[in-house]
């Protein structure tokens, strides 16, 4: 089954404790991205990747890091999480920039 | 730069009534347009898309949308809604070609009332 898998689905952490949210897709898609969803703000792109070893900032990259060492994986790293990063995070992939995106189930992160 | 506006943050509608969710975009070039649906506690999934050709696009679950270039709109419609259509709906736009990313609207919550 074609899918985007994120882990974990739910995470509560404390300020400053490094964490990683994993994202994996099995569709051989080139383009992957991370979004955060906040009430009233819709989806805002954090980082995206056009292909292996090619990443770039989206609209709200501050406080986040990503890597794309393999085509299927695109982890999101929060080196020192802060409460304003409490949000619902989605990973998405698409064949390329001009095709529809497939989304993961989301990761609800709470930073206390 | 491209942008998309969903003016209605919430739309309540009675079951079996018709519904229209509004989406307006801004772009100086040709665009691709998408509607996604997000059911509670789930990720987004594609409802329908307009890339080119016929301006009336049919999607899954009985939804359709019409691309209106002169009004820069891509409104989503369904003639008769069901309880199961209760969800949040996102319009998205992307300039055709090039390396610009997709821009999402702020979403419209459709609440179907029994």
pLDDT in tens, B36-51: 999 988 899 999 999 9
For residue B41, the model assigns a pLDDT of: 86
Average pLDDT over residues B4-28: 95
At B82, is the pLDDT very low, low, confident or very high (cuts 50, 70, 90)?
very high
Give CA separation, A71 vs A34, A54, A96, B76, in Å: 15, 10, 13, 34
For residue B99, the model assigns a pLDDT of: 64
Query: What confidence tens digit (pLDDT) does each residue in A59-112 have?
Result: 899 999 999 999 999 999 999 999 999 999 999 999 987 788 999 999 999 999
Taking contacts as CB-CB distances below 8 angstroms, the residues of chain A near B91 are none
Taking contacts as CB-CB distances below 8 angstroms, the residues of chain B near A92 are 44
Whether residues B43 and A103 touch (CB distance < 8 A) is answered with yes
For residue A100, the model assigns a pLDDT of: 87
From A5's Cα to the closest Cα of chain B, the distance in A is 11
Mean pLDDT of chain A: 94
By residue count, chain A amounts to 112
Query: What confidence tens digit (pLDDT) does each residue in A85-100 have?
Result: 999 999 999 998 778 8
Instruction: Supply the DSSP symbol for A73.
Output: B
Whether residues B90 and A33 touch (CB distance < 8 A) is answered with no
Q: Which residues contact B7 (CB under 8 A, 6 or more apart)?
A: B22, B24
Give CA separation, A98 vs B17, B77, B92, in Å: 34, 24, 12
For residue B107, the model assigns a pLDDT of: 95
From B71's Cα to the closest Cα of chain A, the distance in A is 23
């Amino acid at each position: 089954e074609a899918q985007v898998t994120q882990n974990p689905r739910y995470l509560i952490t404390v300020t400053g404790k490094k964490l990683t949210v994993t994202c994996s897709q099995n569709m051989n898609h080139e383009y992957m991205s991370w979004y955060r969803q906040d009430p009233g703000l819709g989806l805002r792109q954090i980082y995206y990747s056009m292909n292996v070893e090619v990443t770039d900032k989206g609209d709200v990259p501050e406080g986040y890091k990503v890597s794309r060492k393999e085509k299927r994986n695109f982890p999101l790293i929060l080196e020192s999480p802060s409460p304003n990063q409490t949000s619902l995070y989605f990973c998405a992939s698409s064949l390329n920039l001009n095709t529809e995106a497939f989304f993961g189930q989301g990761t609800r992160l709470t930073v206390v | 730069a491209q942008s998309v506006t969903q003016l209605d943050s919430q739309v309540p509608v009675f079951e079996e009534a018709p519904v229209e969710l509004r989406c307006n975009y801004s772009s100086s070039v040709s665009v691709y347009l998408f509607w996604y649906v997000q059911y509670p506690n789930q990720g987004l999934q594609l409802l329908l898309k307009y890339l080119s050709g016929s301006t009336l696009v049919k999607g899954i679950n009985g939804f359709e949308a019409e691309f209106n270039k002169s009004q820069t709109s891509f409104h989503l419609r369904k003639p008769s809604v069901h309880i199961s259509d209760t969800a949040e709906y996102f319009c998205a736009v992307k300039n055709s070609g090039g390396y610009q990313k997709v821009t999402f609207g702020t979403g419209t919550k459709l609440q179907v009332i029994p």
